[in-house]
Amino acid sequence: MDIQSDRPVADSLPASWVDKAPAPVRPFLRLARYDRPIGFWLLAIPCWTGLLLARMGSGAIPQLSDLGLAILFGIGAIAMRGAGCTYNDIVDRDLDRRVERTADRPLAAGTVSLRSAWLFLLAQCLIGFVVLMQLPPLAIWIALGSLVLVAAYPFMKRITWWPQAWLGLTFNWGALVGYAAITGHLDAAILALYISSLFWTLGYDTIYACQDMEDDALIGVKSTARALRSNLHKWLWGFYIAAALLAALAGILGNAPVWFAAAILPFAFHLFDQIRKVDPEDGSACLGVFKSNRTTGLLLALAFLISSFI
């Protein structure tokens, strides 16, 4: 395949440091979605909430070592989100060429060769492996369990109307890893947070998938956006109410102070406010709502953080 010149991808930031990177490197940065950083946040935040819930449940305030773990999880999230996107684009390169929003992705557009993409994937996985080896043994084994979810994810939209649920299982696995890194075990509190995060992802990725409903219908790709389109807002209310209630339950089971119910209200409000802004016929509006979930996740992390100091 002849390698073509770099192309900006449709839903990337209007201007970012990627556009100023050296030309030979730029397509690889786009392949790993460095021009769309929201995914790094959405992968890292569950890791951080898992750490914070563990510390709150231990009865001790966050330690300096927790900051080191949080940084490690941040680096790991960047590496593994880039690896996941690279793998996803390798699998989906033929489908991506047929969807307007994804036609300029590097593999679909021919700005990166398939061989180079596999090598780039390996390099990112090696960074993730180095990070992984810094964690306690149980956290390592739990993290390795996510590989099955990651490997299967690109195929879910071909076989189920609920690929967003699979993404929820995959993207929030770091909550389990972060919790185990502090506590050395898993319990009901972290399982409640994990399921809460799954419903959160079901909501925001359904909103994201609204951008592609017409193209997906033409090429036979399934999504919750297509499946739930006629009652989309009702389903989003269901997903986000479940996310808020289960996050509150995680705090209760994790020995949160009584006023944790008030601390979590900004997170819940931000969830529900998204529903008001969603118009499934307006792809750009849906993208904006999707990106606002960085704030949603950070509000949840903040609720756990401040509750840890009381």
Q: At residue 1, what is the residue type?
A: M
Q: How confident is the model at residue 290 (pLDDT cuts 50, 70, 90)?
A: very high
Asked, for residue 293, whether it belongs to a domain, the answer is yes
The distance of Cα 230 from the centroid of its chain, to the nearest Å, equals 26
Q: What DSSP designation does 211 have?
A: G
CB 153 within 8 A of CB 85: no
CB 5 within 8 A of CB 136: no
Asked, for residue 11, whether it belongs to a domain, the answer is no
Q: For 241-285, write each residue's pLDDT tens digit.
A: 999 999 999 999 998 888 888 999 999 999 999 999 999 989 889
The residue whose two tokens read 């839903």 is: 11
pLDDT of amino acid 1: 42
Q: How confident is the model at residue 57 (pLDDT cuts 50, 70, 90)?
A: low
Asked, for residue 120, whether it belongs to a domain, the answer is yes
The residue whose two tokens read 């192309």 is: 7
The overall average pLDDT reported for the chain is 91
Q: At residue 117, what is the residue type?
A: A
Residue 1 three-state SS? coil
**Gap between the Cα atoms of 9 and 114, Å rounded:** 18
Domain count for the chain: 1
pLDDT of amino acid 259: 87
Q: For 64-120, write each residue's pLDDT tens digit.
A: 788 999 999 999 999 999 999 999 999 989 888 888 788 888 999 899 999 999 999
Asked, for residue 252, whether it belongs to a domain, the answer is yes
CB 69 within 8 A of CB 51: yes
Asked, for residue 232, whether it belongs to a domain, the answer is yes
Asked, for residue 263, whether it belongs to a domain, the answer is yes
**Gap between the Cα atoms of 41 and 97, Å rounded:** 27
In the predicted structure, residue 145 carries a pLDDT above the cut 80: yes
Give the range of the structural domain holding residue 79, as residue numbers without chain letter. Answer: 17-308
Q: For 128-138, write each residue's pLDDT tens digit.
A: 999 999 999 99
Among the listed residues 293, 297, 192, the one whose alpha carbon sits nearest the alpha carbon of residue 246: 192
The residue whose two tokens read 């557009």 is: 109
Asked, for residue 132, whether it belongs to a domain, the answer is yes
**Gap between the Cα atoms of 242 and 268, Å rounded:** 10
Q: How confident is the model at residue 2 (pLDDT cuts 50, 70, 90)?
A: very low
Query: Average pLDDT for residues 138-163, to the nearest whole number?
Result: 95
In the predicted structure, residue 62 carries a pLDDT above the cut 50: yes
Q: What is the CATH number of the domain that holds 286?
A: 1.10.357.140
Among the listed residues 97, 111, 291, 310, the one whose alpha carbon sits nearest the alpha carbon of residue 205: 291
Asked, for residue 98, whether it belongs to a domain, the answer is yes
Q: For 173-196, write each residue's pLDDT tens digit.
A: 999 999 999 999 999 999 999 999
Q: How confident is the model at residue 15 (pLDDT cuts 50, 70, 90)?
A: confident
**Gap between the Cα atoms of 92 and 87, Å rounded:** 9
pLDDT of amino acid 258: 85
